[in-house]
Amino acid sequence: MNMRTIEITGGATPTISIDGVIDIASIPDLHDALTKSISLHPATVVVVDLDKVVGIDDCALGVLLGAAATARDSGGDVELLCNSVHLRNRLTRTRLDRAITIRTSGDES
């Protein structure tokens, strides 16, 4: 299954919705989508919606960390939206939650 990204810019919070598996083959697309959104929306929180992601590898976690650092350098941030218990557990086991805010759709923005 290929990864697909869709940027949703309606409202005050730019959101990148990702669908599929994020692996080594899809890293360039993920990086490009994050870089574009962060550069178009400096000093803003960019949300990455992982609700349709079925798998994520360690390289992708590195790209997310790098994007968060880039966003913070411009006064913004990256937050992850993840309602999947399985994926949230993976992100917690890798301690990504210590570097990037991970929330569910029920959390307040």
Domain boundaries, the chain: 42-109
- The series of mean pLDDT values per 10 residues for the chain, 109 residues long, is 72 89 93 94 95 94 98 98 96 97 82
pTM of the model: 0.91
Contact assessment for residue 50 and residue 32, using Cβ atoms and an 8 Å cutoff: no
How far is it between the farthest Cα atoms of the chain? 35
What pLDDT, on a 0 to 100 scale, did the predictor assign at position 8?
A: 74
